[in-house]
Structure 1
């Protein structure tokens, strides 16, 4: 357990940041799931639109420290390739 005032404050901040990061990660996963569903339905236009909406969200996650840059790039690249294969 945190003893010093500084470590107590840090623990409080960490709890708040964890909740923010959790909601952000969930939001990004929702965007990615929409792309997956559009690909599964076979609708190229919907998949391309969903991917276009998901890309900035994923990269924002990188800027906020949710994902590593290479992880986000890999996810976007693989989704883009699958969307392209539909068309």
Structure 2
């Protein structure tokens, strides 16, 4: 356990950061799974409404990735790579 005040504070900050990191990482992973599932639905149906739904989810993913990069949860290059690959998958669908 912590022996001084600064060590106790560092423990609290580490807990806070861990929860924030976990929120961003799990949310992005979940949204990517939903996006890929909707993309498969669009590939089979070719319905423009399905593509619009996928675009909305993609915008949410972009938002979370950018916010996570701003808070140093994700590396900037990781977010750029992820956004590029998801946009490519939507464009080729």
So what's the TM-score if we normalise by structure 2?
A: 0.78
> Could you tell me how far 1:28 is from its partner in structure 2?
2.0
Equivalenced residues, count: 86
CA contact (8 A) 1:38 1:50 kept: no
Please list the CA deviations of residues 38-57 of structure 1 after superposition, one character each: whole Å capped at 9, or x if unmatched.
12222433322221222111
> 2:74 & 2:58 partners in 1: Cα distance?
17
Task: Establish whether residue 64 from structure 1 lines up as the match of residue 74 from structure 2.
Answer: no
| Aligned partners of 2:28 and 2:65 also within 8 Å | yes
- Whole-angstrom CA distance in 2 between matches of 1:3 and 1:30: 39
Contact 1:28 / 1:61 at 8 angstroms: preserved in 2?
A: no
Partner residue in 2 for 1:25: 25
Deviates more, 1:51-60 or 1:72-81: 51-60
Unaligned runs of 5+ in 2: 44-49
Q: Does the 8 A contact of 2:24 with 2:64 survive in 1?
A: no
The one-character-per-residue Cα deviations of 1:9-61 (angstroms, maximum 9, x if unpaired) are: 11122112211221222222222222111122224333222212221111111
TM-score normalised by length of structure 1: 0.82
Structure 1's unaligned 5+ residue stretches are none
